[in-house]
A and B are shown apart, each in its own frame.
Chain A
Amino acid sequence: MSLMTDRKRVIGLGTAKSGTDHFWKSTVTAVALLVIVPMFLFSFGPLLGEPYADVQAALARPFPAVSAALMLIVGLYHFRLGIQVVIEDYVQGPARKIAIIVAACLSYGLMALGLVSLAQIAL
């Protein structure tokens, strides 16, 4: 028996040496998305199929622009966390690491592309 308490033993550890960090980030982003998803759906949805000028004007306003930006940042970060769990469940060996890296690049790349596009329209 070690003299360390159970709590001290688990702080910052676990097999990934990151404790419950991944789980907690998924949870926090999930709760945030419960607010962000309706904001995004009801500001982005009506813009589909609208004329070019109207879309430019709408996305230059704060609420639709912030809704879309939050959806891109929090949504794709939540996806990046979730897809890693899926990959860890089904892919073994070196392919697992490669798949996680590819998924992260895809998530952050899509996020960056969306945000830059949004900035060019909104600013």
Chain B
Amino acid sequence: MADVNRGNRPLSPHLQVYRPQLNSMTSILNRLTGIALLGGAVLVVWWLMAAATSESYFALVDGLLTSLVGDIVMTLSVLALWYHALGGVRHLVWDMGYGLDPDDGDRMGWGIIIGAPALTFLTIIAII
């Protein structure tokens, strides 16, 4: 197993010569949304901490999160969350051995790109 084809394997594609396409872009965005969600987590924990501290501190943090900038950041967090969730589902499907040819990958890619804003919209409608 480990002794086979050592040193004669295909190289992974270098970014400098790699032509961007839907599959790679949606995959890179999946990783970026995962990292960015730390920001959303920090804000939610800050809000919880404020709610556990005092009424005036809660008013300050809650006011920040529901200001115009706060609303934009929280909406983008929900978008990132749904994007990462759908992108994760695509990985779970791939891990089970399905949808590995380029056409299926593209179809699921469009599913993520259209699905994430749609689910974000539905979420905001539902919780307002």
User: Chain A residues in contact with chain B, CB under 8 A?
Assistant: 6, 9, 27, 30-31, 33-34, 37, 41-42, 44-46, 48-49, 52, 55-56, 59, 68, 72, 75-76, 79, 82-83, 86, 106, 110, 113-114, 116-118, 120-121
A48-B66, A114-B45 are known; give 7 further A-B pairs, CB within 8 A. A37-B85, A48-B65, A59-B51, A79-B37, A86-B35, A114-B49, A121-B48
Would A76 and B41 count as touching, CB distance under 8 A? yes
Would B89 and A52 count as touching, CB distance under 8 A? no
Report the nearest A residue to B86, measured CB to CB: A34
Contact with A along B63-81 (1 / 0, CB 8 A): 0011000000010001001
Would A117 and B51 count as touching, CB distance under 8 A? yes
- Docked CA distance A41–B91 (Å): 22
Q: Is the interface of B mostly helix, strand, loop or mixed?
A: helix
A58 shortest CB reach to chain B, Å: 10
Which chain A residues border B81 with CB–CB below 8 Å? 37, 41
Would B126 and A121 count as touching, CB distance under 8 A? no
- Docked CA distance A101–B12 (Å): 28
Would A34 and B89 count as touching, CB distance under 8 A? yes
**Given A52-B59, A82-B34, A121-B51, CB of A45 within 8 Å of CB of B1:** no
Other-chain residue from B35, B66, B127 in contact with A41 (beta carbon distance below 8 A): B127
- Docked CA distance A120–B54 (Å): 11
A18 shortest CB reach to chain B, Å: 17
Which chain A residues border B31 with CB–CB below 8 Å? 86
Which chain B residues border A118 with CB–CB below 8 Å? 48, 52
Which chain A residues border B45 with CB–CB below 8 Å? 72, 110, 113-114, 117
Determine whether B100 belongs to the interface, using a CB cutoff of 8 Å to chain A: no
